[in-house]
Amino acid sequence: TDTKYTFPKGFLWGGATAANQIEGAWNEGGKGVSVADVQKFRNPQGLKELNNIKKNTDITDEMIEEALKSDDETLYPKRHGIHYYEKYKEDIALFAEMGFKAYRFSVAWSRVVPNGDDDINEEGLDFYSNVVDECLKYGIEPIITLSHYELPLHLATAYNGWNDRRLIGFFEKYVQAVVDRLGDRVKYWLTFNEVDSILRHPFMTGGLIESRFEKDEFQEVLYRAMHNQLVASAKVTKYIHQKYPQSKVGCMTTKLTYYPYTCKPEDVLAVQQKMRQVYAFADVQVFGEYPAYLRVKFQKEGMDVGMTEEDKQVLKENTVDFVSFSYYQSSCMAANEAGLELTSGNTTIGVKNPYLPSSEWGWQIDPIGLRISLSDLYDRYRKPLMVVENGLGAKDILTDDKKVHDDYRIAYFKGHIQAMAQAINDDGVELMGYTTWGPIDLLSNSTLQMSKRYGFIYVDLDDFGQGTYNRYKKDSFDWYKKVIQTNGESA
Ligand code: BG6
């Protein structure tokens, strides 16, 4: 029947980006250096090397020194991005042409507080204020991520990143400046992007340079950094709520969806243990307290994350209003992975699922997994949900007449939008919105490639920084426009 696939009135259709993957202008407008600006492009060959995500995001002091001496933007591609800093009006106009109701973007901390511990850079705030106004001009609701893999580098090198409790105060000062400036026009805030990823990508997420620590103390460092981020998140949630009571603050988690490779209880247990490690972060942000398994772990392993009574109270009193997440793919897990074929996924590696097709980067395409994920999260948290990242990284071909026939991307979105419709209509999930990842081609976070394209809009730029930076509409552009126009019915 007609009621089968309807989306709620006011559903927030749109797209999502992160400052460090689009803006460029890494040392302009008073911006300081961020951890993303020292990430080096390695021109990966072959799937295996591409998928070594850990290697792509790990870094040493020597690598940072080398990066700081270099002014080569092609080696450090996040320094040039897609020139959004100068072209944002053109890009937002294209989003508006698609009919976007919402645009999720991040504020780069290092553009607002260049070194993280110094003074506010008004020019940085001016930029984001202009971006917000540009969105509102078209009736696009801004959704702001306050931290998306772009910590000021100085906080990593001088303080050991989020291992140091002083970062809580620095983060508060930065967020207060952003909220004071933009809060009159912005309703939706996300604190830390993929907050759980600190365990997988210590430098990118937490500014932790692993080689500086003893091997056997590093676990404690990771969990301390986690704790400090969670307290910081709760403190800024409090600030936003107090200053603008109508605002909504969300957590943002990586929705990793794993299936047991077999029905062996050991495989099922492996999945459960992995998932509670991922959920632990949002658990704290939604329920205001640590899950039992982590409390036991800290105690048994003698880990001191520096939790005070005041921290406990701050966490308890300042929980989030909604739960947002990224979902791209699913994978399998086995208690014993020896001899099994592995494949990569969003910031992870997993066992290959024989029943699913994969993208060119090995990410397994699974729309049903999105429905499962939505139900998992809604049953667990009973909070409104928002899918704030979903999309297909693929190689596109720009034809001579400047078109891109990306039917594979349309098929991917179609499947996932239908899965959301089922979750809403059949499972009763409360879903506020859907912002696809990279509505305009941008730099890949994991591989730093331009050739891994997610957009409805093609950007003429290759992996080596060559191209005009011109924008062209792909076939998916018109398709998504129609989806939004019909509030999801045409998908
Ligand atoms: C998410 C990140 O992990 O996945 C984004 O929040 C990232 O920053 C996206 O770009 C897609 O991953 P990738 O590695 O293909 O860019």
- Local structure of 260: helix, strand or coil: strand
The beta-carbon contacts of 466-469 under 8 Å, at least 24 apart in sequence, are 469/82, 469/83, 469/87
C-alpha 75/C-alpha 212 separation (Å) is 24
| Distance (Å) from CA 420 to ligand 1 centroid | 20
Residue 215 pLDDT: 93
Give pLDDT tens digits for 206-250.
999 999 999 999 999 999 999 999 999 999 999 999 999 999 999
- Residue 444 CA: nearest ligand 1 atom is 16
Residue 2 pLDDT: 46
Residue 56 pLDDT: 61
| Distance (Å) from CA 123 to ligand 1 centroid | 28
> Is the CB of 358 inside a 6 Å radius of any atom of ligand 1?
no
- Residue 438 CA: nearest ligand 1 atom is 10
Spell out the domains of the chain, with CATH numbers in brackets. Answer: 12-485 (3.20.20.80)
Residue 459 pLDDT: 98
C-alpha 406/C-alpha 382 separation (Å) is 36
Give pLDDT tens digits for 309-319.
999 999 999 99
Residue 292 pLDDT: 96
Quickly list H helices, 200-308: 202-206, 218-243, 265-287, 292-300
**Does residue 189 surpass a pLDDT of 50?**
yes
pLDDT band at 346 (very low <50, low <70, confident <90, very high): confident
- Local structure of 174: helix, strand or coil: helix
C-alpha 148/C-alpha 467 separation (Å) is 26
Q: How do strand 342-345 and strand 348-351 relate by DSSP bridges?
A: antiparallel
Residue 453: DSSP 8-state? B
**Does residue 43 surpass a pLDDT of 90?**
no
C-alpha 17/C-alpha 107 separation (Å) is 10
Average pLDDT, the chain: 95
> Is the CB of 393 inside a 6 Å radius of any atom of ligand 1?
yes
- Strand ranges of the sheet holding 342-345, from the earlier edge strand across to the other edge: 257-260, 330-333, 348-351, 342-345
- Residue 149 CA: nearest ligand 1 atom is 8
> Is the CB of 390 inside a 6 Å radius of any atom of ligand 1?
no
Cα distances (angstroms) measured from residue 302 to each of 113, 149, 298, 306: 36, 29, 6, 12
Tell me whether residue 389 is one of the annotated catalytic residues.
Answer: yes
CA-CA-CA-CA torsion for 476, 477, 479, 485, nearest 10 degrees? Answer: 150
Q: What is the DSSP string of 46-61?
A: HHHHHT-HHHHH---H
Tokens matching residue 37: 């600006």
Give, using CA atoms, the residue closest to atom 5 of ligand 1. Answer: 445
**Does residue 295 surpass a pLDDT of 50?**
yes
Quickly list H helices, 25-107: 46-50, 53-57, 61-69, 84-98
Give pLDDT tens digits for 404-448.
999 999 999 999 999 999 999 999 999 999 999 999 999 999 889
Tell me whether residue 214 is one of the annotated catalytic residues.
Answer: no
> Is the CB of 476 inside a 6 Å radius of any atom of ligand 1?
no
> Is the CB of 237 inside a 6 Å radius of any atom of ligand 1?
no
Closest listed residue to residue 274, CA positions, set 166, 217, 349, 221: 349
C-alpha 222/C-alpha 207 separation (Å) is 10
| Distance (Å) from CA 453 to ligand 1 centroid | 11
> Is the CB of 110 inside a 6 Å radius of any atom of ligand 1?
no
Matching residue, tokens 């080696």:
75
The one catalytic residue in 134, 194, 301, 341 is: 194
Least confident of 2-16, 249-263, 378-392, 411-425: 2-16
Residue 402 pLDDT: 98
Q: Report how far Cα 87 is from the mean position of its chain's Cα atoms.
A: 22
